[in-house]
Amino acid sequence: MASEFSFDIVSQVDMNEVKNAFNTANKELMNRYDLKGTKCEIELEDDHIMLTADDDFRLTQVFDILFSKLVKREVDARMIVKEDPQAAGGMTIKQKITFKQGIEQSQAKDLSKKIKDAGTSAKSQVQGDAVRVSSKSKDDLQKVINYVKALDLPYAVNFINYR
């Protein structure tokens, strides 16, 4: 049996879920009657999504389609970042959608302090853009997970490497 158990608290989006949401949004975009014959499209690139539309109204519709699919695939809305729309060639508008990755250093320190003040025997330490929580008791780690889930944080958190 391990002498100490641990897990990491991170803020990262599952790109497989983003790809699945992209595919279903693209299918809906192709089948929507009000968007047929328009220049509306969604492009998936390595770490972001590019939306293209004829005008602001259609761009909003395309984003709403994508956003609803992302939320259904359990991608946290706090991770989605919309950049300002840019004029593109051919009378179209483009908008870049990116995803927040990682916990900022100051936020990680604040989260680590909150965990230490929670009253469990769990220890927390900042490791880059993640917070490692360790304890001799699995029950304490479960309490920390529930405590962090109950916090109203301005960023989404995931729990990985539970050992």
Residue 94: pLDDT band by 50, 70, 90 thresholds?
Answer: very high
| Digit-coded pLDDT (tens) for 114-126 | 888 888 888 888 9
| Digit-coded pLDDT (tens) for 50-78 | 999 999 999 999 999 999 999 999 999 99
The torsion angle over the Cα atoms of residues 22, 24, 28 and 31, rounded to 10 degrees, is 110
Say if residue 26's pLDDT is above 90.
Answer: yes
Q: 99, 114, 144 — which closes off a domain?
A: 99
Considering its fold, how many domains does the chain have in total? 2
Residue 46: which CATH number?
3.30.70.990
> Residues 79, 99: contact at Cβ < 8 Å?
yes
Say if residue 139's pLDDT is above 70.
Answer: yes
Q: 83, 99, 115 — which closes off a domain?
A: 99
Asked if residue 93 and residue 20 are part of one domain, the reply reads: yes
Asked if residue 19 and residue 88 are part of one domain, the reply reads: yes
Mean pLDDT, residues 141-149 taken together: 90
Q: Which domain holds residue 154?
A: 5-12+102-160
pTM of the model: 0.83
Say if residue 129's pLDDT is above 80.
Answer: yes
SS3 sequence of the chain = CCCCEEEEEECCCCHHHHHHHHHHHHHHHHHCHHHCCCCCEEEECCCEEEEEECCHHHHHHHHHHHHHHHHHCCCCHHHEEECCCEEECCCEEEEEEEECCCCCHHHHHHHHHHHHCCCCCCEEEEECCEEEEEECCHHHHHHHHHHHHHCCCCCCCEEECCC
pLDDT at 2: 57
Asked if residue 122 and residue 65 are part of one domain, the reply reads: no
